Structures are given as C-alpha cells and as structure tokens.
Amino acid sequence: MSELLKVEQVAKAMEGLGTVDAMKPNRIRVATTPAKVKEAVQRALKDLKCDHVVQIAAVDNGKSFELIYNLTGPHHTVVSILLELPRDKPEVPTASDLLPPAGLYERQIHDLLGIVFVGHPNLKRIILNEDWPENEFPMRKDWKPNPNTFYGGVHTEEAK
C-alpha cells in the first residue's frame, strides 16, 4: 500500500495554479480558478498519478458557486481541486474528456445548480423529471417553489 502523498509533492506539481493546504493527512486541497481547472486536473492525473474521480461536489454558499473536484489514486490521498464561480455567469470548461464519469456528474450539477459546463457533449437533463420548468435550479439557496408554476406530477388544478 503506497504511502500518502506529501503536501510538498502536491505543491510542486501544482505550483503556479493556486494555494495548497492539507486539511487532514489524506485530504489535500488546491484552490484554483475556473480558467486553470483543466490544467490542474491534467496535472493531477499525470504527475500525481490520480486515476479515479471520487466526486464533483457543487455548493451554493449564498455569494457564489463552489465546485470541488475530488480525485484519488493508488496513493489513497484525496486531492480536491476547489474553484469559485461567479453567481451571474457560472461557466467552467468541462472535464468529461479527461474523466469520462464526470459526464454524468456534470449533467447532474447542471440540472440542480445551473452551472454551464462548456464543451460538454450532451448537457441534457438527467436528474430532474422531463416537465420540470426550464432554468429553475432547485438546489440554489435563493430558489423558492412558487405555487403557480407546475413542477411535474399530477395536474392538480385540472383534477379539481
């Protein structure tokens, strides 16, 4: 079982992309910007020998959207690449060409938070039902279900 990555190793591989800090021995975080995310993922795949995407987490912390790419490999350390997206134009280049499973994760994030992944092969709806109204993103903090739009399910008003 190869031993955990050191913070210095990750810092050396990622220098010039962003600040590196270790929250736990096996959790190392790299804060970077949307422009450099593809470069960061590529370096993680090549230099740090990460070959498995654990998860792409998406958070709406009120002010902006945060995307966290969690990658791991035989070294069993989770390298998470964190980036912030402005609230008005959340766009980030897709990572599905580098990481095929990311295609499904990005479609799910797009459904729930409305982050546009530039260059994604088919950013169709996957997680919400077909007749969910367009550009209403339920996981956003400021989303409130207003009563008169119809969110799928039984057409209650006609049934009365």
Partner 1 sequence: MTEVVVPIGPHHPALKEPVNFKVVADGETIVRLELDVSYNHRGIEKAAEQRDFVRVVPLLERVCGICSHSHTTVFVKGIEEAMKVQIPPRAQYIRTIVAELERIHSHLLWFGVAAHEIGFNTLFMWTWRDREAVQDMLEEMTGNRVNYGINEVGGVRRDLTPEQIQAALKRLPHLEDRIAKYRDMVNKEATMMIRFRGVGKLSKDDILKLGAVGPTARASGVDYDIRKDDPYIAYADVPWQVITDTHGDVYGRTLVRIGELQQSLQIVRYCLENLPAGPIKITTPRAAPRGEILSRYEAPRGELVHFIRTNNTDKVERLDIRTPTLANWTSVAVSLVHQNLADIPVIVAAIDPCLSCTSRITIVNERGKKTGEMTWDELSAHGREFYRKRGRA
The nearest distance, CB 34 to partner 1, in angstroms, is: 19
Interface residues with partner 1 (CB under 8 A) are 1, 23, 26-27, 51-55, 57-61, 68, 70, 72, 76, 78, 80, 99-101, 103-105, 108, 112, 126-131, 138-139, 151-156, 158-160
The nearest distance, CB 130 to partner 1, in angstroms, is: 7
The nearest distance, CB 110 to partner 1, in angstroms, is: 13
User: Based on CB atoms, which residue is closest to partner 1, 22 or 126?
Assistant: 126
User: Based on CB atoms, which residue is closest to partner 1, 16 or 130?
Assistant: 130
Distance CA(22)–CA(30), nearest Å, equals: 9
Residue environment code for 40-66, b if the CB has 16+ CB neighbours within 10 A, otherwise e: bbebbbeebebeebeebebebeeeebe
